[in-house]
Structure 1
Amino acid sequence: MAAPTPPSAGPANPQGAPTQTTPPAGETLIAVRDVTLAFGEKVIQRNVSFDLKRGSIFAVMGGSGCGKSTLLKSMIGLLRPTTGQIMVEGEDYWAQDEQRRTELNHRFGVLFQSGALWSSMTVGENVALPLEMFTTEPPDVIRRLVELKLGFVGMEQAIDLYPSEISGGMRKRAGLARAIALDPDILFFDEPSAGLDPMSSARLDDLILTLRDGLGATIVIVSHELPSLFAIADDGIFLDAVTHTPIAHGAPRTLRETCAIPEVTAFMNRLSSIPSSGPAPGQTPGKTEG
């Protein structure tokens, strides 16, 4: 199969036009059912349930400390939930033995917040690592695959550079190339835009859309970066840090426009305090804290 065309290096969405699509109504890839996440007596979230549909860009939203990254860790096999089920196409992930969970993990690609590249390895060696660990391809084939993955994210020129020699945005893209090395059908991103300037963040948004449209990937994003969420996410869940429960479900733009829950209204409109009710039509959002 021909490799997808790499995204342009030019500015993303120059007119600011919306790029997200309506939530898919098709096959459920992952079903989270009544999951509780806790550390000892400290409950992080309880009664978490949602479906991740094939082809969706699903946002996990909420304020700091609500458990977004903790939920992500449970979905990718790093943290067993206290109760509940995470079903991967009908299989109870945490009920499987370690070997089967490892096999299911090969369907996942993960981009951690910092990129999580090995500093002692070149960009190309970082991307090659999962191919060397989990395939039997010879070195020349792996090199070609690495070139293709880096080309897809516009990073082929950095194949022999070390992480310390490239910018933060380039490290994010290199981490993304590694995440797609094994052609996973589900991608998980933890704060992908954190620390990026607005143009780099917009380019990353376009790249995420290209991954969905060009590779057919299904994507879960943990983020509080509202411009990115409004631009690309077509479904999502809002986790509340006070009640330790999900309190809203839907596309970020839909929640911003129609949700009457004060905590969600405040978050989606960048208000500095929680209103007693949703903002009146035409109300100017308050100044953000911090």
Structure 2
Amino acid sequence: MDAPLKIETHGLTLAFGDRVIQRDVALRVRQGSIFALMGASGCGKSTVLKGLVGLLRPIAGTVLVDGESYWEVPEARRTLINRRYGVLFQSAALWSSLTVAENVALPLRLFTRQKPAAIADLVRLKLALVGMEAAANLMPAELSGGMRKRAGLARALALDPEVLFFDEPSAGLDPITSKRLDDLILELREGLGTTIVLVSHELPSLFSIADDGAFLDAEAHTVIATGAPTWLRDHCMHPTVQAFMHRERVPDERAADERGTGDADGR
């Protein structure tokens, strides 16, 4: 039996001014899944993520969170929905003037009424979850790229989110550090039951951790295939998807006609 839907979109269209980035985007993110937004650089993956987390209002369409229409509820209600989210941005977005522990504590101080001692305990717990307890008193400038990502993840976990959003979590990391981060993401899903939505074009990460996803196309400005990355790699015959999954040059128009360009949907 399929898990219940956590997030779904219908006809989601996002734009900057008159420039449409993605249109008619339909997503179905099930509870407890690791859902990947895939596609080449510049196709609009991060833009769609911003539409999901409330950083960019769509010009059309709906975003449903547990069946509730995110953009149609009052702002106060959206704020409460956002409390159920944790977001790790590509740069980790740590405050440079705060220690690692202070960065993790910030959401707890802003959005809860916990006493300082309780916040300190929670910070130690979140840092331990990501293997960063020894770095609590370091400044962001003293951290490696992988450590910054893990510190940002600890902060994203501060409020015990139901959904974690990752924007290119492996970007800029060496293969070993990237693999460790992938393993950590899997542990969070297995241990906490967290639903995870990630933006990535890193094939090793996509194949090893994502169990569902949507492929966004820069030319069509919409979703052209859905399914697990491994399923898309092995079964989707859309030439753009195949080129991406096998790191090939996108075929020319004649080759596309010969191979077929039908949409695909797989689990």
* TM-score band, normalised by shorter chain: over 0.9
Match of 2:66 in 1: 89
Match of 1:226 in 2: 203
Matched, 1:26 2:3: yes
Match of 2:16 in 1: 39
Distance 1:129 1:279, change over 3 A: farther
Match of 1:111 in 2: 88
1: CA distance, partners of 2:240 / 2:59:
26
**Is 37-46 or 188-197 further displaced after alignment?**
37-46
Give the structure with the larger helix fraction.
Answer: 2
Structure 1, unaligned runs of 5 or more? 1-23, 281-290
Amino acid at match of 1:119: S
Matched, 1:243 2:226: no
Secondary structure at the counterpart of residue 14 of structure 2: strand
Secondary structure at the counterpart of residue 54 of structure 2: coil
Secondary structure at the counterpart of residue 187 of structure 2: helix
State the number of aligned residues: 257
Match of 2:29 in 1: 52
Structure 2, unaligned runs of 5 or more? 260-267
Displaced runs of 4 or more, over 2 A: 272-275, 277-280
Amino acid at match of 1:210: E
Match of 1:213 in 2: 190
1: CA distance, partners of 2:133 / 2:16:
42
Structure 2 contact 34–210 (Cα < 8 Å) conserved: yes
TM-score normalised by length of structure 1? 0.86
Matched, 1:264 2:241: yes
Structure 1 contact 260–277 (Cα < 8 Å) conserved: no
Instruction: Return the match for 1:136 from 93, 103, 113.
Output: 113
Instruction: Return the match for 2:231 from 254, 258, 274.
Output: 254
Match of 1:180 in 2: 157
Amino acid at match of 1:228: S
Secondary structure at the counterpart of residue 61 of structure 2: strand
Secondary structure at the counterpart of residue 28 of structure 2: strand
Structure 1 contact 261–278 (Cα < 8 Å) conserved: no
Matched, 1:123 2:100: yes
1: CA distance, partners of 2:257 / 2:35:
24
Structure 2 contact 239–250 (Cα < 8 Å) conserved: no
Instruction: Return the match for 2:135 from 158, 165, 170.
Output: 158
2: CA distance, partners of 1:25 / 1:114:
34
Secondary structure at the counterpart of residue 246 of structure 1: strand
Match of 1:285 in 2: none
Secondary structure at the counterpart of residue 214 of structure 1: helix
Matched, 1:168 2:130: no
CA deviations on 1:231-281 (whole Å, 9 max, x unpaired) are 00000000000011110000001000011000000000000332625999x
2: CA distance, partners of 1:41 / 1:72:
19
CA deviations on 1:75-105 (whole Å, 9 max, x unpaired) are 0000000100000111110011111100000
CA deviations on 1:27-71 (whole Å, 9 max, x unpaired) are 001111111111222111111012110010000001111110000
